[in-house]
Amino acid sequence: MSENFIELDVRPILRSGGEPFDAILGAVKKLEPGQGLRLFATFKPIPLFRVLGSMGFDHEATELSGGDWQVEFTPAAPAAGGVSAEQTVAAPAGSKQHDAWPAPAREMDNRNLDPPEPMVRILAAIEEMPKGEVLAALLCREPVFLLPELAKRGHSWQGAFEPDGKTYRMLIRIGTVQPGAA
């Protein structure tokens, strides 16, 4: 385990009602090889475990006094053919091969909406779609809180930032994973 961490305290952001995800991703992108992130938050950031796990990080969470949490994200040992920290495509275990996905049946542009409206709109839209169809969505950030909801509901996904670095394009395939299989 790495003892070389950069620290990020997002408690002030959370206490002021802000969204710290961009600050967290910015810190992760600045990590040197072998370096970890020590994060301080006002709650146990369970959605981040999956997101950073898909980026190649293990985590160890410790509850602090007053209900705050310290989480150390460390680079996982690379497996043969494993996921690297640079990989931006996420999909839960058990998902189908992405190259076999059909063309999107529905497209949404959520780039101008404030959180949590994009997540609310996407979850409402996928409830109306038949199993196997694909929803394409444009977002202004990676939907860190949406990903565990999709896994819980049995949907698979893939996503990455467009070359402009500002638009996150996401594809969601409806009902192709057994809930809880991730």
Q: What is the pLDDT of residues 42-90, one digit of tens each?
A: 988 887 887 787 778 889 999 998 889 999 999 876 544 333 333 334 4
Pairing of strands 106-109, 5-9: unpaired
Query: 165, 100, 161: which is closest to 134 by C-alpha?
Result: 100
Q: Which of 45-54, 100-109, 132-141, 168-177 has the lowest mean pLDDT?
A: 45-54
Query: 84, 54, 71, 77: which is closest to 148 by C-alpha?
Result: 54
CA dist., res. 77 & res. 125, Å (int): 38
pLDDT of 125 strictly over 80: yes
Mean pLDDT of 104-110: 95
Cis peptide before 116 (omega within 30 of 0): yes
pTM over 0.75: no
Complete domains list, the chain, with CATH: 5-75 (3.30.110.40), 106-174 (3.30.110.40)
